Structure 1
C-alpha cells in the first residue's frame, strides 16, 4: 500500500512523491510553447503552465467524490483560535460563490471538471463538517503513519461527540500542531492522503494529514513565506494572514483535498501505470502558483497593499494555493495575477 503526498522543496527541478512503503521520484512538466484548441474554453488570459504531451493523466474507473463533500477536522495538539479561523475560512471559501476574483472557488472549478464513469462531476460543494480537538496529544507527540490512523479511530469512536462516519462524501483532515513530530515530516513530506484500514479504524475513510512546520522546517513546508538555509540571498515573502506555519499549511491542505476528491481510494484519476505509485492532479503542478511558475519560481503573484503575497481570495481572507492539473487542456491551471 502506498500513500500520495506533497512536498514543497523550492529549488529542485524534481519533486519527491512519497508513498506508504518507499519513495519514488516524480517529475514535473515544464512550460513550452505548445498551444491547445480548448484554451478558448477558459478565456484568453494565460492561466496555464507546465503543459506537456508526455503527461498521461487517466481515469482508472474508481470512485470520485460527486456528492457534497464534508471536511471533518481533527485538531491534534495545541492550536490558537486565530490559526483555526484561517484554515476554517479556507475550507469554507472553496464553495463561496461571491468571493472577489480570483477566488478559491475559481480554483476549485478546475477540480470540478473531473468526473466518474457515469459522467458525474466532482461536487461543487465543499463544506466544513464537525471538528474534534485532541489537545492532550492522546497518541503522543511523535506519530507514525499508522498511528495517524489510530488518531482518526479515536475521533470517530469517541464516547462524547464522535466525528460522524461518512465514507461516501466525508473527508477526514488531521492537522498536527507545530510541536508534533510525524514520520517523514520535513525530510520528505509536508502532508499526504490515503484511506483508513478497516483493521485499524473499522471503516474505509479517505483522509489527509497536514502538519504545521513553523518550528521544524518552515523553509521546506511553508515556502515561500520562509526559505531554506541552503539558498543564500533568497528572501521570504510576507504571508497573507500573518502566520507563516498556517499560511504554508493552507496550500498543502488544498493540494490534498483536490487529490482526495479526484482519487479518494487511489484508483481513479492519476498518471502512471502502477496504482501503487500514482502521480495525481496536484503533484503535477507542485511549486506552480501563477504564470511562469516552476523550479524555485512561484510564478506571477499578487502583492497586497500591506506587502502580503497571495494568488486567490477567500470569503474575507487571502491565500496562496498551488495550481492543479487541468486534464481538459493538459496544463496546470489556476487563478492568476495576470488575469487582472
Structure 2
C-alpha cells in the first residue's frame, strides 16, 4: 500500500496504516481487529480457511509543489495514483484541505477504483487499485467529517471530540478506512457489493453513520471516551493512537458489525 500525497501527511495518518499491521489480539478493539473483518468475505468463497489479508507499506511521495495545481479532476487523481506501484498495489492519494477535487463535497468524500499500469510487466499490463481521500476541514466538514462536526443535514446533535484533535484529519481516517475495506472486498468492481454496480454499497458504505452499538441517524453509537480529552473513538492503534472506524457489513449475518 503506497501513499501519494498532494502536500503533507500528518503523523496520525501515517500511523493509521501501520496500525492495520498490528497483532489483532494486541488490544480488544484495535485497528487490526477491525481489518480482520474483511476476511469474512473471502471465507465465503471457499470451505477452507483462507490466508489472512496481508498488507505491507510501500513508499510515500509528497507533492509539496502541487504539481497538478489545486483543482484536480478525477483523471488527475488517477494520474497521481499511477506514481505508486503498478502491480499488486493499492495506491492512496490524500489531498490537503486547500485542494479541490471534482465531485468532492457535492457527491463524495473520497473514492476508490482501479487503472491499468502504464508499462508492461512480464509482457502484460496489470491492474492496480487506488484510493483518494480529501481533507474536508475547510470545505465541507459537516458532510465528510461527521460525527466530529455538526452535520449539514439531519439531526443536529452536538459533534463529538475528535480523537486526534483534528476534525479534518480524523474525518479522513474514517473515509480512508471505509474505502480500504471497499477496495479489499471489491477492488475492480466485480467483487462483493449490494445494489447497482454504478453505485455499489460495499463493506463499509452499506453501514453509513454506524460506529458503535445502538447507532441511529444522528447518533454514532455507544463509543469509547478518552477520560483525559473527552474524545470519542472505537479503535486503538500503534503508539497509543485512537481512531474512529466505520462498522463493516457482515455477509454471514447480514448485519453491521462494530468494534464496540
Distance 1:334 1:127 in 2: 25
Q: Structure 1: which 4+ aligned runs deviate by more than 4 Å?
A: 116-120, 197-203, 229-233
Distance 1:295 1:179 in 2: 30
Q: Secondary structure at the match of 2:58?
A: strand
**1:73 matched residue in structure 2:** 3
Q: Contact 1:95–1:124 (CA<8 Å) still a contact in 2? A: no
Q: Contact 1:262–1:269 (CA<8 Å) still a contact in 2? A: yes
Residue 328 (1) aligns with residue 252 (2) = yes
Residue 103 (1) aligns with residue 30 (2) = yes
Structure 1 residue 199, shift from structure 2 partner: 7.3
**1:89 matched residue in structure 2:** 15
Structure 1 residue 282, shift from structure 2 partner: 1.1
Greater RCO, 1 or 2 (C-alpha within 8 Å, sep 6+): 1
Residue 295 (1) aligns with residue 217 (2) = yes
Aligned residues between the structures: 251
Q: Secondary structure at the match of 2:3?
A: strand
**2:144 matched residue in structure 1:** 221
Q: Contact 1:88–1:128 (CA<8 Å) still a contact in 2? A: no
**1:139 matched residue in structure 2:** 68
- 1:115-152 CA distance string (max 9 Å, x none): 17556647342232111111111111111111111222
Structure 1 residue 228, shift from structure 2 partner: 3.2
**Partner of residue 173 from structure 1, selected from 88, 92, 96:** 92
**Partner of residue 202 from structure 2, selected from 267, 280, 299:** 280
- 1:221-271 CA distance string (max 9 Å, x none): 111111135568632211111111111110110001111011111101111
- 1:53-77 CA distance string (max 9 Å, x none): xxxxxxxxxxxxxxxxxx1000112
Distance 2:148 2:42 in 1: 34
Structure 1 residue 332, shift from structure 2 partner: 0.7
TM-score by length of 2: 0.89
Distance 2:149 2:6 in 1: 23
Structure 1 residue 192, shift from structure 2 partner: 0.8
Q: Secondary structure at the match of 2:216?
A: coil
TM-score by length of 1: 0.69
Q: Secondary structure at the match of 1:267?
A: coil
